[in-house]
Amino acid sequence: SKRFDVIANQVGIRPDRQEKYDFSTPYTVSAAVLTVHKDNNTVKDFKDIKGLKAAQTLTSNLTDIARKNGAEIVGVEGFNQAVDLLASKRVDVTINDGLSVLDLLHQKPEMPIKIVAKDPDAAHNGFMFRKGSKELVDAFNKALDDMAKDGTLTKISQNWFGEDVSK
């Protein structure tokens, strides 16, 4: 329908999407993270969540990670509800996008939660374009390359997430 030229919303670059769309080079890398209450010192890895209550959005692929590791799923509407349940100790864990958790902890360092493990399969995120948008993709890639070389991507990452998520 050609209503949009680009989508900029942490879109994961995956083979199934690359068949339908063009992508920029990645500008962030994000992994699923296992998050617990800051008082929890027993959960250290995904394998430790068997039988524990995990606050998860029922349609999320992150829920699949929780299920695969034997967690009891507590359905939630979204990220905010998941971390609220975790902070109030009504669930034991939540598995969410690392950038979301880092952003929350950067904005609200008093939140009583902590990241204890990262899923090894990180998502590389880029700008998504209509197939055949070579000139626009090339322009974005040049800008991203310039920003990577001069440190701008790193500065933006550190400002918003407290660490460099551009690599």
* Blockwise average pLDDT, block size 10, the chain, 167 residues: 85 89 94 97 98 93 92 97 98 95 94 95 90 96 97 93 88
Amino acid 102: pLDDT: 93
pTM: 0.77
Amino acid 153: pLDDT: 95
Amino acid 52: pLDDT: 99
Task: Answer yes or no: same fold for 6-29+124-160 and 32-118.
Answer: yes
Amino acid 68: pLDDT: 95
Q: Which CATH superfamily is domain 32-118 in?
A: Periplasmic binding protein-like II (3.40.190.10)
Amino acid 1: pLDDT: 66
Asked if 150 contacts 29 with a C-beta cutoff of 8 angstroms, the reply is no
Q: What angle do CA 69, 57, 16 make, to 5 degrees?
A: 80
Parallel, antiparallel or unpaired: strands 72-76 and 53-57:
parallel
Ordered by start, the domain boundaries in the chain are 6-29+124-160, 32-118
Q: Give the strands of the sheet with 53-57, arranged side by side.
A: 72-76, 53-57, 93-97, 32-37, 113-118
Q: Which of 95, 102, 91, 108 is nearest to 40 (CA)?
A: 91
What topology is assigned to 6-29+124-160 in CATH?
D-Maltodextrin-Binding Protein; domain 2 (3.40.190)
How far apart are alpha carbons 45 and 71 in whole angstroms? 12
Amino acid 105: pLDDT: 95
